[in-house]
């Protein structure tokens, strides 16, 4: 690997000046490395908010579900949030004794019974679903919630991540509430839930809470409503996030509605707590573009790079093609023409065999991998506080084959 200057940007700050070649050059690539130190830093920030604002915080497992780290995170968090039966089960099994909340856009008959075994808080997405499943949830002692849609978009040009976009299926609007609610349904409700943010600061939460108050303040004031879940998308652990404003929002909401407050961030729990190490396996030239083909794939190992889309931070390199003498397009080994991670500028020429380290690869990465083209799954490693590495997985041919046919 080429020697490069130390990269101290937030996705790499937890390396404390240690260079990737010193830490990871013996690891078979591609592989993910989850950094315990950064997970702890995030946990400490979240638990300080919990203490100061008196709220509860859940890990949204859709973003990060590497359960080997649940014991560590459970030192800080109230429990887990799930998107359905399997995540609820994982949360119950791997954070025993902690709360398990679940929200799903629509529950299936055949999974709901099982869900009752694992979840303690069940959030419904429609009044029709409460009418169908609410009684069973109550009979089994569950706390029942309804997701509301305050219809306030606080992000632009990002409809895929905006539950308040027009025509959204996520959450009950006040109009739907007014036309469908019955006193029997209201009597089943213990809490309300909203999730409208994505990688946002607390000013967006403040605006959202005004909309929640305007549309659903009367419901939140009902004496039976004992909790309000403010969803995820709060980028609390990002340097520069306005934490005092978040705490103020929570304290105001608690006071106004006399409810318990839950947050369920995914990204903020594991922000900057993981890396994807990859090696250059070939370099090709097409016109003025130099293309380094990696053993990691955007399509298989960092699908958000294509879906969001975004260019992930790379240790010691600049994103984009501006100015740098050595510019490379980094691309994956699959047949997909668009399997491209991005263009980067380097301080020196790349060589076949160089190890490249992508940052912020703990979230929406290991939980979204696939084996398209028969590309192997990267193993997952744990890096402890002393930078000691331990392999957690042993993926191979069977992990590709088992999802495709008879066993």
Ligand X SMILES: Cc1ncc(COP(=O)(O)O)c(C=O)c1O
Pick between residue 266 and residue 316 the one whose CB is nearest to ligand X: 266
Q: Is 199 exposed, middle or buried (0-12, 13-18, 19+ CB in 10 A)?
A: middle
What is d(CA 54, CA 304) in angstroms, rounded to the nearest whole number?
A: 33
> How far is Cα of residue 110 from the mean position of the Cα atoms in its chain?
27
CA dist list (Å): 145 to 53, 55, 79, 89, 240: 22, 17, 17, 19, 32
How far apart are CB 229 and ligand X at their closest, in Å?
Answer: 8
From residue 332 to residue 361, what is the string marking binding to ligand X with x (rule CB under 6 A)?
------------------------------
Region for 154 from its dihedrals, namely left if φ exceeds 0, alpha if ψ lies in -120 to 50, beta otherwise: alpha
DSSP 82: E
How far apart are CB 308 and ligand X at their closest, in Å?
Answer: 12
Over 126-144, what HEC string results? CHHHHHHHHHHHHHCCCEE
Count residues contacting ligand X (CB under 6 A)?
A: 15
Comparing CA positions, the residue from 306, 237, 305 lying closest to residue 276 is: 305
Pick between residue 82 and residue 317 the one whose CB is nearest to ligand X: 82
Pick between residue 249 and residue 356 the one whose CB is nearest to ligand X: 249
The pair of structure tokens assigned to 50 is 């919990």
> How far is Cα of residue 86 from the mean position of the Cα atoms in its chain?
16
Cβ(236)–Cβ(45) below 8 Å: yes
Q: Does 266 bind ligand X (CB under 6 A)?
A: yes
Q: Does 267 bind ligand X (CB under 6 A)?
A: yes
Query: Segment 218-257, which members bind ligand X (CB under 6 A)?
Result: 231-233
Cβ(337)–Cβ(329) below 8 Å: no
Query: Segment 187-206, which members bind ligand X (CB under 6 A)?
Result: 195, 198
Q: Does 63 bind ligand X (CB under 6 A)?
A: yes
Query: Segment 81-140, which members bind ligand X (CB under 6 A)?
Result: 81, 103
Pick between residue 14 and residue 200 the one whose CB is nearest to ligand X: 200
> CB under 6 A: which stretch of 60-68, 179-187, 294-302, 394-402 binds ligand X?
60-68
Pick between residue 241 and residue 326 the one whose CB is nearest to ligand X: 241
Please select the residue that binds ligand X; options are 87, 162, 264, 354, rule is CB under 6 A. 264
Pick between residue 130 and residue 317 the one whose CB is nearest to ligand X: 130
Contact residues for ligand X (CB under 6 A)? 60, 62-63, 81, 103, 195, 198, 231-233, 264-268
């Amino acid at each position: 690997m080429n020697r490069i200057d130390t990269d101290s940007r937030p996705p790499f700050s937890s390396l404390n000046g240690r260079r990737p070649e010193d830490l990871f050059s013996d690891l078979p690539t591609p592989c993910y490395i989850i950094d315990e130190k950064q997970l702890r830093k995030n946990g400490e920030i979240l638990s300080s908010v919990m203490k100061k604002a008196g709220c509860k915080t859940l890990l949204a497992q859709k973003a990060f579900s590497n359960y080997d780290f649940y014991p560590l995170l459970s030192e800080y968090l109230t429990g887990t949030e799930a998107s359905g039966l399997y995540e609820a089960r994982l949360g119950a099994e791997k954070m025993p004794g902690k709360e398990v909340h679940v929200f799903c856009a629509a529950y299936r008959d055949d999974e709901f019974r099982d869900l009752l075994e694992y979840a303690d808080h069940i959030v419904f997405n429609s009044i029709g679903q409460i009418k169908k499943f609410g009684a069973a949830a109550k009979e089994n002692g569950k706390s029942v919630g309804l997701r509301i849609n305050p219809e306030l978009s606080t992000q632009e040009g990002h409809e895929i991540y905006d539950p308040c976009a027009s025509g959204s299926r996520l959450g009950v609007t006040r109009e739907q509430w007014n036309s469908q609610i019955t006193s029997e349904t209201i009597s089943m409700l213990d809490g309300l839930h909203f999730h409208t943010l994505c990688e946002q600061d607390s000013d967006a939460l403040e605006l959202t809470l005004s909309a929640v108050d305007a549309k659903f303040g009367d419901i939140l004031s009902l004496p039976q409503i004992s909790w309000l879940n403010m969803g995820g998308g709060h980028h609390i652990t990002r340097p520069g996030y306005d934490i005092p404003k978040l705490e103020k929002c929570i304290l105001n909401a608690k006071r106004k509605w006399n409810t318990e407050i839950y947050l369920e961030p995914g990204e903020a729990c594991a922000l900057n707590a993981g890396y994807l190490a990859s090696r250059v396996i070939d370099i090709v030239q097409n016109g003025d573009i130099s293309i380094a083909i990696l053993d990691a794939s955007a399509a298989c190992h960092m699908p958000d790079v294509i879906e969001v889309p975004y260019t992930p931070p790379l240790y010691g390199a600049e994103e984009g093609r501006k100015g740098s003498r050595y510019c490379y397009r980094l691309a994956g080994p699959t047949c997909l023409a668009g399997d491209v991670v991005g263009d980067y500028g380097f301080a020196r020429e790349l060589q076949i065999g160089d190890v490249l380290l992508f940052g912020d690869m703990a979230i929406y990465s290991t939980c979204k991998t696939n084996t398209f083209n028969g590309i192997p799954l990267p193993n997952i490693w744990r890096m402890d506080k002393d930078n000691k590495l331990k392999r957690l997985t042993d993926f191979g041919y069977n992990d590709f084959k088992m999802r495709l046919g008879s066993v």
